[in-house]
Structure 1
Amino acid sequence: MSVSEFDNYRPPEGRRRRGRRSAGRPGGPGSWFRRGNDGAREIPVVPDAQVEPYTSYYGRPVVKAPPWKKEIATYLFLGGVAGGSALLALGAQLTDRPILRRNARLAAMLGSAVGSTALIADLGRPERFLHMLRTIKPTSPMSLGSWVLVTFSTCAGVAAVSEVDRWTGSRLPLGPLRCVLRAVEPWSGVGAGLFGAPLAGYTAVLLSDTAMPTWNAAREDLPFVFVSSASLASGGLAMITTPVDEALPARLLALAGVAGDVVAQKVMESRMDPVAAEPLHQGTPGVLLKWTERLLLVGGLGTLVGGGNRAVAAVSGVALLGASACTRFGVFYAGLNSARDPRYTIEPQRRRLEARRAAGQTGDSITTVG
């Protein structure tokens, strides 16, 4: 007897009737037959689905949402912060800004560590993450993303340990490894910076590669939203932790992220199917994305006007971090919500089918009517 938690999704079974399956009679193996006064009578096993008012078999959704919880949304946010911080640290390394470099490297390491912990917590068992590293599948965003995360975390960790050792006056018990650490530190910083952008954006590709209507409808523009969100979050965090005389690159990155986020979100929603975009404006996702707009306004104006003031810069950085978190959580919950109502799946499919027929594409398996 199975005791899986997914047994809750199994439709209730009624009392079984004696009969026999018919493989060669009308209806095939999916039907039961009974003998009566009117001869062979077919009894359907599964009730007919109705597209108006968009109900499906047994009242179940048309597509099944992944069993992801808030830990995955946390990973989406912290992965963006870590990736943007590593890129910012690389810029500080190349322009000789030691405080900004140190703070950004530590942020990258902490973001990847806590984000990876949240990801593994959602998987349930740590060895499941290791199983994803057994092979490299170029066509799988999850496979490539797992390797990007591991490579990034390794590079960011080496650079961060070197910064901590230097910050504490070489008091870490490294022994002869200290010389090796100093030698590989610059290259680790470069590696973390190069893998930072893929880490910040691959999660958008992962979400849009699913069958969730809202995520899939945003597949062309969601990576730009996530990369912009990562930029403003990492810039905002550096504005909190770094003195203003070294934080100019952080302010510029934050402003670029604000502008990119506003434009990318507007373009994304304008190009999505109107029905598939509805979950972005309803319920919890709608509230979160409304707060994204408000926090972007506060953080962007504060950075532009008062970024040279330490207190204003810190408040603006907090607002930008909040805006990035609201974006990630809002998009995450909108995608899950879109799987619960068959309407978000059926109506866009109908429109795509009509568009293909109108364009003269009537000879393929999608548009051919049997």
Structure 2
Amino acid sequence: MSGSDVTRDGVRGARPGRDAVTGGRAGRRGRRGGRGERPVVPEAEFGSYYGLPVISKPPWEPLDIAGYLYLGGLAGASSLLAAGARLTGRPGLAAPARTAAAGAISLSLAALVHDLGRPARFLYMLRVCKPTSPMSVGSWLLAAYAPLTLTAAATAVAGRYRLLGAAATAGAAVLGPAVATYTAVLLSDTAVPSWHEGHRELPFVFAGSAAGAAAGLALAVAPAGQAGPARRLAVLGTALELGAFHTMKRRMGLAARPFGQGRAGLLVRAAELLSAGGAVLSLCSARDRRLAVAAGAALLAGSAALRFGVFDAGVVSAEDPVYTVLPQRERLEARGSRP
């Protein structure tokens, strides 16, 4: 596409300004009045300057940040499961859940710091607390949550300071749901179309995915006789994840297309199959250790595939200007057609 073919609005074959977006006043009169008038300007073809994206794609490293999303969800849901297991007298379930939360949040923070480049950059984010910034709130959330999970796990392993361990487990459980879902708010707060357009349902998708991952890990390592809550959590989490995800895609329209194409589409389909299969296997695993391990592996893999698929879909939508320009044009036309 040559430079002379591109207007100031980044579209080809349309006059700059209002006509490039709406098709011109004459075009609207022809559509509304039914007088047979034809649009003066033909439909615009979408493009951008020299074929470049309209917005910048996320600068994050895929492995680091997608892993950070997955491990944070696993940690937050595991803390909630650990607290419930402790209250119901299931030490065989509570201990691995506490350990999983501590290990997952440690790896999640390591992935985040690796993407930032220097540990000091994470500390810089704690200099202020800005409630309107998901990144600022998330930084303080992690700073409070990580010590609680590490304390809960350490006291469980040592078998001492039980009162301190109980308080740390309860505190981590209170913060756990926010840790599991705040990353969805963080993604939705960007200009990336396939993330921003899913802002209503994406936290529920991440909550269900996190619950499935935590349940999967518990099924794989906890005694079958004490894993009843994990089996129920697997079914509930998978139902929430798949239901919210399909609702999100139906509502998003064009911006949902990257979830079904390319590598992101493969990951999303794999996530759906693995999560659903793991939930079904979990119902049959009460007396079969091999089925419990298979169900746990499927749930863990399904949750990871979903997070990586969501990340990839967002990058694809940022690189293609159609996902940015067309929804904006549709919103302008919808506002212009209102009485």
Q: Which amino acid aligns with 1:248?
A: G
Distance in 1 between residues matched to 2:190 and 2:296, nearest whole Å: 33
Alignment of 1:233-252 (within 5 A): 233-252=213-232
Picking from 126, 136, 141, the partner of 1:133 is: 126
Picking from 158, 176, 192, the partner of 1:212 is: 192
User: What's the counterpart of residue 233 of structure 2?
Assistant: 253
**Structure 2 residue 158 is matched with structure 1 residue 165:** yes
Greater share of helix residues, 1 or 2? 2
User: What's the counterpart of residue 172 of structure 2?
Assistant: 192
Q: What is the number of residues matched between the two proteins?
A: 302
**Structure 2 residue 53 is matched with structure 1 residue 61:** yes
1:182 Cα shift? 3.3
Q: Which amino acid aligns with 1:217?
A: E
- Give unpaired runs (5+ residues) of structure 2: 13-43
Distance in 2 between residues matched to 1:356 and 1:307, nearest whole Å: 56
- Provide TM-score, normalisation by structure 2: 0.86
Distance in 2 between residues matched to 1:304 and 1:238, nearest whole Å: 14
User: What's the counterpart of residue 354 of structure 1?
Assistant: 333
- After superposition, what is the alpha-carbon deviation per residue over 1:18-58, rounded to whole angstroms, capped at 9, x for unaligned? xxxxxxxxxxxxxxxxxxxxxxxxxx9x9642254322123
Q: Which amino acid aligns with 1:236?
A: G
**Structure 2 residue 316 is matched with structure 1 residue 327:** no
Picking from 239, 255, 262, the partner of 2:242 is: 262
User: What's the counterpart of residue 81 of structure 2?
Assistant: 88
Q: Looking at CA atoms only, which structure, 1 or 2, has the larger radius of gyration?
A: 1
| CA contact 2:74–2:213 (8 Å) conserved in 1 | yes
How large is the RMSD of aligned CA atoms in angstroms? 1.5
- Give unpaired runs (5+ residues) of structure 1: 1-43, 167-177, 361-370
User: What's the counterpart of residue 367 of structure 1?
Assistant: none
User: What's the counterpart of residue 293 of structure 2?
Assistant: 314
Q: Which amino acid aligns with 1:57?
A: Y
Name whichever of 46-55 and 210-219 sits farther off.
46-55
Distance in 2 between residues matched to 1:234 and 1:349, nearest whole Å: 39
Distance in 2 between residues matched to 1:340 and 1:60, nearest whole Å: 8
Change (3 A) 1:308 1:255: farther
Alignment identity in percent? 47
**Structure 2 residue 142 is matched with structure 1 residue 149:** yes
1:197 Cα shift? 0.2
Distance in 2 between residues matched to 1:308 and 1:198, nearest whole Å: 34
| CA contact 2:284–2:291 (8 Å) conserved in 1 | no
- Provide TM-score, normalisation by structure 1: 0.79
Q: Which amino acid aligns with 1:314?
A: V
- After superposition, what is the alpha-carbon deviation per residue over 1:5-25, rounded to whole angstroms, capped at 9, x for unaligned? xxxxxxxxxxxxxxxxxxxxx
